[in-house]
Structure 1
Amino acid sequence: MVHIVGAGPGAPDLITVRGKELISQADTIIYAGSLVNPALLEYRKEGCRVLNSAYMTLDQVVEAVRETEAEGKMTVRLHTGDPCIYGAIREQMDEFDRLGISCQVCPGVSSFCGAAAALNMEYTLPEISQSVVITRMARRTPVPERESIASFAAHGATMVLFLSSGMVAELAAELMRGGYGADTPAAIVYRATWDDEKKVVCTVGTLAERAAGEQIRKTALIIVGNAVSQSGYALSKLYDSGFTTEYRQGSDTEGKERK
């Protein structure tokens, strides 16, 4: 069996209980060394083989799993955050299927959740934003034209940009081309939940200047939208005393808007 495990956003105690248990049982761990906190490897058992996939091709990863399977042993493929987001896991699972190797995915805490926690932020504020767009700038790996930054920006929803901190000036230009104003709230969170975490609250117009000033060029998420300011939202109807739910009868009192 090979288990694809989400390592969480960085802090070693933010891996799931299941993920930690799988690490402790693994005979081979193949981890994304460019992003996964190596402190997680301390949970491994004695004699566990550890491989850093930052130096490996897909074929080499698959071969390492095949070798472990041939010995009747178990592999953990350790990905950063949650493996379903920019984890390139589908191509691995297709190869495992081709070889008749059983595979299971263990979800993890994504860095976009870690970034919100760093900012004490709620993405989905009533009457401000109820949608979160997770995307990235096109680089050497292209992005479908229908999913361009400008096209998503036209919706005015909250946006979380992965893999884009190395081209912030171009990103800001695309965001404004799509309809965000230069004064739209924004934030940069570098290495969310790590010991050296850094967070910068700014605007779309000052994204490039602030990123350069903090020397942030990689391993950061960029969050854009009015939800970043955490103000001007309406109170949740779920807890409004005038709102009737399946569990309680409400009065006629309407919730008041919080400024």
Structure 2
Amino acid sequence: MTIHFVGAGPGAADLITLRAASMLASADVVLYPGTYIDAAVLSHCREDANLVDTQELDLDAMTAVMVEANAADLDVVRLTSGDPSLYSALHEQTKRLDAAGVPWDVTPGVPAYAAAAAIVGRELTVPLVAQSVVLTRTQARSTAMPETESLAAFAATGATLVLHLAITRTRELMAEVEPFYGADCPVAVVSRASQPEQQVLRGTVGQIADLVEEAGLRQAAVILVGPALASGSDAESYLYSTERVQRKARLT
């Protein structure tokens, strides 16, 4: 058997992929992060499936569940919030499975930042404003960040910033990026995107910390920062421009 790492999307039961739903429907054992995934996602599981909430388990304990289930020839799905390519501990878990000789594969999911951008109705890459998106996090009581990946260095590029696992340090982080973006730069915070408890805060670099603290947000939130979030840009993409279409017509 193979351990399936599956992206559960941002939380809504109807924002998982068809492949993910099919895997959940056939799984004997499903490990899921109860802190981040709405219970409705588990409605795709069989009624007799063994559901294991991993929020109180360390990596070794999670691996033990997967290895034991695999030895019993059971079909196992390891759900991750959002997409497994971001902050899912995929590397640590698959390394342990490799050591145990257990095969695995990965099914992508809708990342939380994409859901957040959809909810606020903004493209994160706007022509002549920002053409890059930086997905990053910050360090508090967590794994240290590489020395070359400071928030200031990313902010200096002017790219759209997507901050994960950072909501409890909003005030400190906004102070760090303000010299590069300015106090009036737009910011959006989306907590529990697509879930029933979803909250959306809109403000500026200078305002957003107050709004976050007033709302009492403490986890499962994504912070979007950058001028691309503003609605006033008149710049348009060359890809869909009249100039490009006419040039293509002349060449053909």
TM-score bucket (shorter structure): over 0.9
**Matched length:** 249
Aligned to 1:255: none
CA distance in 2, matches of 1:124, 1:25: 38
Distance 1:39 1:89 in 2: 23
In the other structure, the counterpart of 2:120 is: 119
Bigger mean CA deviation after superposition, 236-245 or 185-194: 236-245
Deviation at 1:215, TM superposition (A): 2.2
The answer for the alignment partner of 2:8 in structure 1 is 7
Work out which of the residue numbers 149, 155, 158 in structure 2 matches 1:156. Answer: 158
Distance in 1 of aligned mates of 2:242 and 2:171 = 46
Aligned residues: CA RMSD: 1.6
Shift of 1:47: 2.1
Where 2:70 maps in the other structure, the secondary structure is helix
Kindly state the Cα deviation for residue 173 of structure 1 after the two structures are TM-superposed.
1.2
Amino acid at match of 1:169: R
Letter in 1 for 2:145: V
Query: Which amino acid is 1:145 matched to?
Result: E
Partner of 1:143: 145
Matches within 5 A, 1:91-240: 91-141=92-142, 142-177=144-179, 179-240=180-241
Is residue 134–residue 161 contact of structure 1 (8 Å, CA) maintained in 2?
A: yes
Contact 1:243/1:250 (CA < 8 Å) preserved in 2?
A: no
Deviation per CA, 1:172-223: give whole Å up to 9, x if none. 111125x221111111111111122221111101121111222222221111
CA deviation after TM superposition for structure 1 residue 49, in Å: 0.9
Q: Which amino acid aligns with 1:231?
A: G
Distance 1:102 1:159 in 2: 35
Larger mean Cα displacement after TM superposition, 123-132 or 186-195: 186-195
Please, which runs of 5 or more residues in structure 1 have no aligned partner?
252-259
Partner of 2:43: 42
Structure 2 counterpart of 1:172, one-letter code: M
- In 1, the alpha carbon distance for the partners of 2:66 and 2:90 equals 14
Does the aligned pair in 2 maintain the 1:242–1:250 contact within 8 Å?
no
The residue that corresponds to 1:249 in the other structure is 249
Q: Provide the C-alpha distance between the structure 2 equivalents of 1:198 and 1:48, rounded to a whole number of angstroms.
A: 32
TM-score where L is the length of structure 2:
0.94
Structure 2 residue runs without a partner (length 5+) = none
The one-letter code of the counterpart of 1:56 is L
Cα 1:5–1:159 change in 2 (3 A) is: same
C-alpha separation in 2, matches of 1:216 and 1:98: 39
Deviation at 1:250, TM superposition (A): 6.0
In structure 2, what is the Cα distance between the partners aligned to 1:245 and 1:11? 43
| SS across alignment from 1:86 | coil
Matched with 1:55 is 56
What is the aligned-residue identity percentage?
38
For residue 167 of structure 1, what is the amino acid of its counterpart? R
Partner in structure 2 of residue 69 of structure 1: 70
Q: CA deviation at 1:224?
A: 0.6
Q: TM-score, normalised by structure 1?
A: 0.92
- Judge conservation of contact 1:127–1:233 (CA < 8 Å) in 2: no
2:33–2:55 contact (8 Å) kept in structure 1? yes
Contact residue 11 and residue 41 of structure 2 kept, 8 A: no
Using the TM superposition, give the Cα deviation of residue 244 of structure 1 relative to its aligned residue in structure 2, in angstroms: 4.2
> 1:29 aligns to what?
30
Q: Measure how far apart 1:70 and its partner are.
A: 1.1
Change (3 A) 1:156 1:25: same
Q: Detail structure 1 runs of 4+ shifted over 3 Å in the superposition.
A: none
Residue deviations 1:62-113 (CA, integer Å, cap 9, x gap): 1111111111111100000001100011011111111111101000000000
1:104-145 deviation digits (Å, cap 9, x = unpaired): 100000000000010111011111110000111211222122
